[in-house]
Amino acid sequence: MDCAAFPMHPKMDEQLARTFAANEEEEERHIQKVQNAFLYYGPYACQRLKRSVDYLNSLSAEDQIMLAKYRGHLECVRTCIDRNQAVIREILRERVLYPPEETGENPSAGRWEFDEPPPNVRHGDMDQAQSTLKLIARDWSTDGALEREQSYKPIIDSIVEYYKPGDYELKEIKILVPGAGLGRLTYELACLGYSCEGNEFSYFMLIASNFVLNLCDYENKYVLYPWVHQYVNNLRREDQVTAVRFPDVCPLKNPPKGHFEIAAGDFLEVYKTPNAYNCVATCFFIDCANNVIDFIRTIYKILVPGGIWVNLGPLLYHYSDVSGQNSIEPTFEDLCIIMESVGFVIEKSRTGIRTKYAQNPSSMKQSEYQSLFWVCRKPDPFEEQRGKRKASREPHDLIVREDSEEEVEQQQQQQERAEKHPEQEQQQLKLQATSNDETEMEAQPT
């Protein structure tokens, strides 16, 4: 399987290749920093743990007696951190690109440990190392199945509906997944037979996805403790130290039917060729831009006429309030205007799709997004001239929850019944309202 975590993007044009070569040293330093952050994971996590242990030790004997089980739990936390670090070392083992920098580590022992924080590694990098573990759980464990159902299924269903397996030679349908993260959505689409390319610029993601996609040789081989850094909102001690096995499917043993590759690089830098993809699928991605219009323009440009853009996610706007970063935060209403102005036809749009993202299922604190979902089409002037497809623009600046045909039909039937037998219908509606209340929670995510 071609998971090009480190090599240059195959479609990189000459000019870009020159820029890359010029930046090679910088790139090398960056990858080294990511490796160092991964290697410093354990000591960093243990520093936090030590704060609790030190305070516990300073408490009165009476308090310490009551906290005996809690003390045992903190020892267990320490063990989980060590085990996480061991898996991280496995992740790095096969693909250590650059030798570690000078300080503190001991590569000859096979265990690289830093006594001091590695140079250039910041708290933000350590956060990313920790969230990589949570994202492995989201994408590649059975524990992440619900999140994947909420986020990836609507995207996959729409693509299958638009590019129906019976109507198309699927390997001819080229799908790009920018911001591919750990690659599961891209993999699932490739398993259906589409020709898929994920794109990702974070080396935390690229190194971890390369491991799952190319180096794990059987299902559930590895165990991680992704919630071990969460010291608060735990109901039971075991919730903090819950084990998560991965990968729930082994891509090596189950290679996708369709072409599959992951391309490293910044979406805006790498994708410049017009009319190259039949579909762009974005999940929790478009709010990763300084200026979301740049993403939307690029997506429009690289789609073939008649191609679709399927999106799901919130508008978190990752650069909002990050010092030194520019950011604008257009609302969904604004995005509708932008998408149509760029040239897209909004075929379908929904609000309020309940989606969790890398959530600890046992935590007392649960947050979820009321995500947006849409399917946009880049119009094909020839097709439209031939009247094959009619443009179905929704009005500007309007948030519409599109009712399905079935729902419209039901509403019409209800209207007719209400006109004929008003009292009976009133009674029926009351009954329906009670049962809808019960089912809506379950029905919502899909």
Rounded distance, CA 390 to CA 255, Å? 38
Complex with ligand SAM: residue 159 or 288, whichever CB lies closer:
288
| Per-residue x/- track, 121-150, ligand SAM (CB under 6 A) | -----------------x------------
DSSP class of 284 = S
Residues 313-372 that bind ligand SAM (CB under 6 A): none
Instruction: Give the span between the Cα atoms of 88 and 431, in whole angstroms.
Output: 55
Q: Residue holding tokens 């190194």? A: 207
Residues 130 and 139: beta-carbon distance below 8 Å: no
Comparing CB distances to ligand SAM, the nearer of 241 and 264 is: 264
Q: Which of 260, 267, 309, 369 binds ligand SAM (CB under 6 A)?
A: 267
CA-based Rg of the chain, rounded to a whole angstrom? 25
Asked whether position 309 contacts ligand SAM by CB under 6 A, the answer is no
Segment interacting with ligand SAM, rule: CB under 6 A, options 113-121, 176-184, 332-340, 382-390: 176-184
Distance CA 114, CA 39 (A): 8
CB of 135 to ligand SAM, least distance (A): 6
Question: Of 144, 179, 193, 247, which one interacts with ligand SAM (CB under 6 A)?
Answer: 179
Pick 170 or 289: Cβ nearer ligand SAM: 289
CA gap 435, 174 in Å, rounded: 43
Rounded to the nearest whole angstrom, what is the least distance from the CB of residue 266 to ligand SAM in the complex? 4
Using alpha carbons, list the distances in angstroms from residue 145 to 149, 162, 303: 6, 24, 30
Smallest distance from ligand SAM to CB 179, Å: 3
Minimum separation from the CB atom of position 231 to ligand SAM (A): 24
Which of 213, 288 has the CB closer to ligand SAM? Answer: 288
Residue pair 71/64 in contact by the 8 Å Cβ criterion: yes
Comparing CB distances to ligand SAM, the nearer of 89 and 184 is 184
- Residue with smaller CB distance to ligand SAM, 264 or 345: 264
Question: Judged by CB under 6 A, does residue 178 bind ligand SAM?
Answer: yes
Which region, judged by CB under 6 A, interacts with ligand SAM, from 70-78, 179-187, 303-311, 417-425? 179-187
Which uninterrupted H or E stretch holds 2?
Answer: strand 2-4
User: Least CB distance from residue 416 to ligand SAM, whole Å?
Assistant: 43
CB of 14 to ligand SAM, least distance (A): 21
Smallest distance, ligand SAM to C-beta of residue 400, A = 25
Q: Is 181 in the site for ligand SAM (CB under 6 A)?
A: yes
CA distances to 23, 124, 148, 150, 199 from 445, rounded to whole Å, are 43, 31, 10, 5, 26
Closer residue to ligand SAM (CB): 222 or 357? 357
Count of residues in contact with ligand SAM, rule CB under 6 A: 18
Site for ligand SAM in 273-292 (CB under 6 A): 283-285, 288
Contact stretch for ligand SAM (CB under 6 A) within 72-80, 109-117, 220-228, 263-271: 263-271
> Distance between CA atoms of 182 and 206, rounded to whole angstroms?
7
Listed in sequence order, the residues at least 6 apart from 170 whose beta carbon sits closer than 8 Å to its beta carbon are: 163, 192, 193, 194, 195, 257, 258
CB closer to ligand SAM, 270 vs 345: 270
No. of helices (H) and no. of strands (E), the chain? 16, 10
266 is a contact residue toward ligand SAM (CB under 6 A):
yes
CB of 298 to ligand SAM, least distance (A): 10
Q: Is 417 exposed, middle or buried (0-12, 13-18, 19+ CB in 10 A)?
A: middle
The answer to whether residue 183 forms part of the interface with ligand SAM (CB under 6 A) is no
Give kind and range of the element (H or E) at residue 405: helix 405-420
Strands (E), 201-355: 222-224, 244-246, 260-264, 277-283, 303-313, 345-355
Complex with ligand SAM: residue 278 or 359, whichever CB lies closer: 359
The residue within the footprint of ligand SAM, chosen from 151, 311, 355, 371 (CB under 6 A), is: 151
Q: How far apart are CA 134 and CA 140, in angstroms?
A: 10
Residue 360 token pair: 């600890």
Site string for ligand SAM, 191-210 (x = CB under 6 A): --------xxxx--x-----
Query: What is the Cβ-side half-sphere exposure of residue 287, based on CA atoms within 13 angstroms?
Result: 16
User: How far apart (Å, rounded) are the C-alpha atoms in residues 444 and 188?
Assistant: 22
Q: Of the listed pieces 112-120, 261-269, 273-281, 436-444, which binds ligand SAM according to CB under 6 A?
A: 261-269
Question: Contact positions toward ligand SAM, by CB under 6 A?
Answer: 138, 151, 178-181, 199-202, 205, 266-268, 283-285, 288
